[in-house]
């Protein structure tokens, strides 16, 4: 079932969201100082391609640097990506079939806004 959901997700919104994250990662890599944010953008972009069967958990080792890094991230790219998830969720919620995918988009908004200090793991 997860595979079917992921395939539908990929077609409806996953690919486009991945492109947004890839663009954010590319910009962050070009700026060199922001490479850690580029790595986070790429990691979440891959997660946005195939999200069903995975979950986001807090990293226990995350500290104050994650908080400061998340502030920079929100300013540079986080709010744009969160808006992309919300827009995609609104478009998907129009149909009954799209409602679970809209919900999945809304669950990804906090990760899009504050990615540092979080880890993407497989669901049991």
Digitized pLDDT (tens) for each residue of the chain, 124 residues in all: 889 999 999 999 999 999 999 999 999 999 888 898 999 999 999 999 999 989 888 888 777 888 888 999 999 889 999 999 999 999 999 999 899 999 999 999 999 999 888 888 988 7
How far apart (Å, rounded) are the C-alpha atoms in residues 43 and 21? 9
Measured CA to CA in angstroms, residue 73 lies from 28, 43, 66, 95 at distances of: 10, 14, 10, 33
Q: Chain centroid to CA 7: how far?
A: 17
């Amino acid at each position: 079932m997860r595979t079917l959901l992921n395939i539908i997700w990929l077609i409806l919104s996953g690919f486009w969201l991945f492109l947004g994250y890839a663009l954010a990662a590319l910009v962050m890599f070009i700026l060199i100082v922001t490479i850690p944010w580029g790595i986070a953008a790429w990691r979440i972009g891959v997660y946005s391609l195939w999200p069903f069967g995975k979950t986001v958990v807090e990293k226990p080792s995350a500290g104050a640097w994650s908080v400061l890094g998340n502030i920079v991230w929100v300013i540079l790219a986080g709010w744009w990506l969160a808006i992309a998830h919300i827009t995609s969720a609104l478009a998907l919620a129009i149909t009954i079939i799209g409602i679970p995918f809209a919900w999945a988009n809304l669950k990804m908004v906090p990760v899009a806004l504050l990615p540092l200090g979080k880890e993407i793991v497989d669901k049991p």
